[in-house]
Chains A and B, each alone.
Chain A
Amino acid sequence: MMAVIAAAIVIQRNLFAVVVLGGIYSFLMATALVALDAVDVAMTEASVGAGISTVLLLGALHLVRGDEAKPLGRPWLPLAVSIAVGGVLVYGTLGLPAFSDPEAPIHKHVAPRYINESLKETGVPNVVTAVLASYRGYDTLGETTVVFTAGIGVIALLRQRKRKDRDRR
């Protein structure tokens, strides 16, 4: 179903429809994440992916407006490149462990320690919160730095515009 939505986004040229489809896509992704036991990630995806990014895109569309122009010629080269990349990746997955294999390397290292020790060490029952805030606190600090930088960038870009408007007047 998500594949169908993704294909529709590829084909659809009305940008407003694309944005709405993008919101649907994000909710489907959140549902899939709940099914994969990633409840925290699903919450974030539903609020950030389907909420904030849809609002941002609609805001940008309001400023940009319009439909997408018809592509010039047939996109054979990009299609070939994409399919080649997909083929190589499928070949690569053949060497990976099967879905939900408890012997896979991902379940053998750091994760068991987090699951067994985090309640004792941090007192937070939600392991994801414990790892995010305690063990990997510096990651989260770096993340806020990135968001802060992006915010400054957006403000700088859009403020310049206002100043130019004032000059013109």
Chain B
Amino acid sequence: MSALGHFSYWVTIFLLVAGLFIVIARGNLVKKLIGLSIFQTSVYLLYIAPGKLIGGTAPIVGTGITVYSNPLPHVLILTAIVVGIATLALGLALVVRIRESYGSVEEDEILRAEEAALRDEAT
């Protein structure tokens, strides 16, 4: 019972860890943003899954229905999805600008270019 009851949490955690790993380990900025959105979707699951009641229906009032799933997390996550797409768009715009300034979207190459520029200034 316990293992089955907590399965939804564990799926959420796996997705969250996968997103976190992409964000930390991968150098490509576009890939990092995709990792960030995986992280975000795992948070959607984290909110929605506890609101579900087995035998319940979607929270639309109808006759003869007594058990509804919890509508509050749905509202919060609707907001989160839209804000998430806004962050993604802004992040991608930044990536495009970085690519134009440095000619690369790889983190290590950008850092190297930055160091070289600093050295040029010093000499």
Query: Which A positions have Cβ atoms within 8 angstroms of B?
Result: 2-3, 6-7, 9-10, 15, 18-19, 22, 25-26, 29, 32-33, 36-41, 44-45, 48-49, 52-53, 56-57, 59-61, 63-64, 66, 68-69, 71-72, 75, 78-79, 81-83, 85-86, 89-90, 93-94, 96-102, 104, 106-107, 110-111, 114-115, 118-119, 125-128, 131-132, 136, 139-140, 143, 146-147, 149-151, 153-154, 157-158, 160-161
Interface residues of B: mostly helix, strand, loop or mixed? helix
Given contacts A38-B51, A143-B79, contact A57 B7 (CB under 8 A): no
> Quick check: B106 and A110 within 8 Å, CB to CB?
no
Is B116 among interface residues, defined by CB-CB distance under 8 A? no
Interface residues of A: mostly helix, strand, loop or mixed? helix
Closest residue of chain A to B7, judged by CB? A99
Q: What mask results when residues 48 to 70 of chain B are scored 1 for a CB within 8 Å of chain A, else 0?
A: 11111110111111100000111
Given contacts A85-B20, A93-B6, contact A153 B59 (CB under 8 A): no
In this complex, how many residues of chain B approach chain A with their Cβ under 8 Å: the count is 81
Interface Cβ pair total, 8 Å cutoff: 262
**Which residues of A lie under 8 Å from residue B7 when comparing CB positions?**
99
> Quick check: B90 and A153 within 8 Å, CB to CB?
yes
**Chain A min CB distance to B106 (Å):** 5
**Which residues of B lie under 8 Å from residue A89 when comparing CB positions?**
13, 16-17
6 contacts between A and B (CB under 8 A): A41-B74, A79-B25, A82-B20, A126-B59, A131-B75, A157-B96
> Quick check: B60 and A127 within 8 Å, CB to CB?
yes
A154 to B89, CA, bound (A): 7
> Quick check: B6 and A82 within 8 Å, CB to CB?
no
**Which residues of A lie under 8 Å from residue B85 when comparing CB positions?**
48-49, 52-53, 56
Residue A41 contacts which of B9, B38, B77 (CB distance < 8 angstroms)? B77
**Chain A min CB distance to B26 (Å):** 7
> Quick check: A25 and B72 within 8 Å, CB to CB?
no
Using A3-B11, A41-B44, A99-B9 as known contacts, list a sample of 8 further A-B pairs with CB atoms less than 8 Å apart, ordered by residue number in A: A36-B52, A37-B51, A60-B96, A78-B24, A127-B71, A128-B78, A139-B75, A157-B90
